[in-house]
Amino acid sequence: MYAILDIEATGGKVGEESVIEIAVYKYDGKEIVDQFISLVNPERKIDYYVQKLTHITDKMVRTAPKFHEIAKRIVEITDDCILVGHNVMFDYRMLRQEFERLGYNFEKEWIDTFEYSEKLIPNLPSYSLGKLCESLGIIVTDRHRASGDARATVSLFKMLLDKDTEKIISKKTGLQQPKKTHSKYQKLLDNLPNSVGVFYLYNSRKQLIYISRSNNIAQTINHIFTSKTLKANKLKRYTRSIKFEETGSGFLAAIKENNEVLKNQPMYNNRLVENKVYPYGLYYLESKRGYSRLEIGKLRKVEPVLKFKTKERAKEVLEKILHDYQLCLQVNAGIKSEESCFQYKVNECNGACIKEEAKEVYNQRIEDFIKTTEYPAPTFLILDKGRKGIEKSFYLIEDNQFKGYGYFEYHHQIKTLEMINHILIPIEETDEIKNMLKYFLYKTSSHQNQIVIL
């Protein structure tokens, strides 16, 4: 019997968080036989980042039961069950922490669907729950809410059990305790935040040996210190101190990571070369008489719309663009046929494949996409998430060049370059940062309030 669960927490320093929502589905290997879902009053403030991610507010949990009021129900529904979760170590740690506060020792065997997904379904682009479910066709409703993520984990676990022909899951169902870092590493993990940012690992000589970004700094570093890969073993062996910087925005974390790896070239990061050539590009093949196309290819004399490190990443982005702009896969692949494409039959194509859609209308949608990747003006700001509260981050592009980033609060006006430069943290533009900006503009094209023309 399995107890498949997901927990949302307040955020904050490790050891100080509290549960704000829990969902448990009791699963007998074939179907769900019981379930428990509840908001929880954490008796403390929920971090702003968590509120934005989960849409669970302080007001919503104010009248919810406190953990001690639902503790008995959790013990009952998980009785004689193996805990199952995606990155279950976090959920299990949160439960143990809450029960310890009540003086109760909560111990269970566990199965991590993240670990077994990597083993049983290799070579996927990402194993985060959302992207994994997208790759596998698992529908996720209420993402970043306990019930939605737990239901998605039920579907994922069913699939893993089906794929587990060698029965490795039943042979190894976890330990009585989740993977713990060795005691000599534990102090390094104290006070790490469960938030977006960049972290830095240093050796005994205080030399920077590794830089990375993460959507959850504490969880990522914990994963490194419990992993057995060759790289993780080296990082564990040599790391003596850890520093971090919260960014609030995943995009800003990516920019900082690129800039600081390029500057420092830590020994355990892949070596970066400034403005190195990306081998693949997404090219716009304009047609005046027929239907225009978007094509992936090796770098050419003309400038691509976007550049990519791998062909697989280029294909992934192209598929998203075709979907977002309702572009015909058949037409875009250059296939000429009297038969309509499959997407037309399910009302996801407007009929360009059988010349039912006007070329001008179809081509305009491609041009609309191209415009989303272009700078809206020579000098402008892009606004993004801040770290906490009413703070926002911004990126400055001046005279078509990326100049850096900064933070401000909503009630502060930053509409002049002079004011912006006072708080600007300069970063030199690289080919990768410029390409990231173009893709970020495309992704945020529906949110025009994020662009401020100066």
DSSP secondary structure string for all residues of 81-150: -EEEETTHHHHHHHHHHHHHHTT------EEEHHHHHHHHS-S-S--SHHHHHHHHT---SSTTSHHHHH
What pLDDT score was predicted for residue 175? 37
379 to each of 259, 368, 399, 435, how far by Cα in Å? 21, 21, 5, 17
Pairing of strands 451-453, 380-385: antiparallel
Mode of pairing for the β-strands spanning 32-39 and 19-27: antiparallel
Tell me what pLDDT residue 172 has.
56
pLDDT band for 171, please (50, 70, 90 cuts): low
What is the C-alpha to C-alpha distance for residues 395 and 373, in angstroms, rounded to an integer? 15
pLDDT in tens, 426-445: 898 988 899 999 999 998 88
Q: What is the CA radius of gyration of the chain?
A: 24
Q: Which two tokens stand for residue 31?
A: 């179907």
Distance of alpha carbon 24 from alpha carbon 387, whole angstroms:
31
Q: What is the pLDDT of residue 255?
A: 93
pLDDT exceeds 80 at position 415: no
CB count in 10 Å sphere of residue 381: 23
6-57 pLDDT tens trace: 999 998 887 888 999 999 999 987 789 999 999 999 999 998 889 988 899 9
Helix (H) or strand (E) holding 161: helix 146-163
For domain 2-171, is the CATH number 3.40.50.2300?
no
pLDDT in tens, 244-285: 989 999 999 999 998 889 888 999 998 776 656 688 999 999
pLDDT value at position 153? 92
Domain boundaries, the chain: 2-171, 183-264, 280-371, 380-453
Across the chain, mean pLDDT equals 87
According to DSSP, residue 124 is labeled -
**Residue 121 in this model has a pLDDT that exceeds 50:** yes
Residue 193: closest CA among 173, 155, 219: 219
Dump pLDDT digits (tens) for 328-355.
999 999 888 888 888 888 788 899 999 9
Residue 401's contacts (CB-CB under 8 Å, 6 or more residues apart) are: 429
Query: β-strands 380-385, 391-398: how paired?
Result: antiparallel
The identity of residue 115, as a single letter, is: E
CATH superfamily, with its number, for domain 183-264 = GIY-YIG endonuclease (3.40.1440.10)
* Contact between 98 and 18 (Cβ < 8 Å): yes
The predicted model scores a pTM of 0.58
Burial of 28 (0-12, 13-18, 19+ CB in 10 A): exposed
Using CA atoms in the order 81, 82, 85, 91, what is the torsion angle rounded to 10 degrees? 80
pLDDT tens for residues 354-401?
Answer: 999 999 999 999 999 999 999 999 999 999 998 887 888 999 999 999
Task: Give the pLDDT band of residue 160 (cuts 50, 70, 90).
Answer: confident
**In this structure, what token pair is assigned to residue 189?**
């993990």
Q: What is the mean pLDDT of residues 230-241?
A: 90
Nearest CA to 405 out of 432, 425, 383 is that of 425
Structure tokens at 69: 């009021």
The pLDDT of residue 68 is: 93
The residue with tokens 């420092």 is 264
Q: Which residues contact 159 (CB under 8 A, 6 or more apart)?
A: 136, 138
